[in-house]
């Protein structure tokens, strides 16, 4: 079979790119802790009221000034609401859903995650002082558009 020289160049180029992308994934996974969502933490969405953590959604201040926020999303609100956190400090969210898939987006920030029934979503972020709206950005039912919350970040005194 005769493969044209220019065709060979494109084949080698495409193969090289594939190898480069694969190497990039392996490199970031091995050295920069970039992980696919396989390290899953599960929770029974039908037993959240009995769960030691998710039966009490709320904000806990840690001795180092950071905060832990346990959030439960449920048609059609977020608990707690409002979420009051210290500004300019690491805030770790741990959230889940009691019913269906919900979004959790703190408008104007990089806090944007999904609350998935059965799974625990965790991320850490910090906020500038201010009041932020929280929106659900996954369609979750007829009142999805009304599923909003509030986050208040205040400067620690
Ligand atoms: Cu919850 Cu849309």
The CA 96 to ligand 1 mean position distance, Å, reads 13
Q: Is residue 72 in contact with ligand 1, taking CB distance under 6 Å?
A: no
Distance 49 CA to ligand 1 centre (A): 20
pLDDT band at 71, cuts 50/70/90? very high
Residues 49 and 118: their CA atoms lie apart, in Å, by: 13
Q: Whose CA is nearest to atom 1 of ligand 1?
A: 102
34 DSSP assignment: -
Note the pLDDT of residue 40.
Answer: 76
pTM of the model: 0.76
Q: What is the pLDDT of residues 16-67, one digit of tens each?
A: 999 999 999 899 888 887 765 556 788 999 999 999 999 999 999 999 999 9
Span 93-143, pLDDT tens digits: 999 999 999 999 999 999 999 999 999 999 999 999 999 999 999 999 999
Q: Is 136 in the pocket of ligand 1 (CB under 6 A)?
A: yes
Position 115 scores a pLDDT of 94
Question: Which residue bears the tokens 């950005």?
Answer: 137
């Amino acid at each position: 079979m005769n493969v044209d020289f220019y065709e060979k160049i494109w084949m080698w180029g495409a193969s090289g790119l594939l190898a480069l992308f694969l190497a990039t994934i392996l490199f970031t996974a091995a050295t920069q802790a970039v992980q696919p969502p396989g390290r899953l933490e599960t929770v029974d969405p039908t037993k959240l009221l009995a769960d030691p953590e998710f039966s009490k959604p709320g904000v806990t201040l840690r001795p180092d000034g950071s905060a832990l926020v346990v959030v439960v999303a449920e048609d059609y609100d977020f608990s707690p609401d409002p979420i009051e956190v210290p500004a300019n400090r690491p805030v770790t969210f741990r959230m889940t859903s009691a019913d269906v898939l919900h979004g959790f987006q703190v408008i104007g920030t990089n806090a944007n995650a999904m609350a998935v029934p059965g799974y625990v979503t965790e991320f850490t972020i910090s906020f500038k002082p201010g009041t932020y709206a929280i929106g659900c950005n996954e369609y979750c039912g007829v009142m999805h558009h009304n599923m909003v919350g509030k986050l208040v970040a205040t400067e620690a005194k």
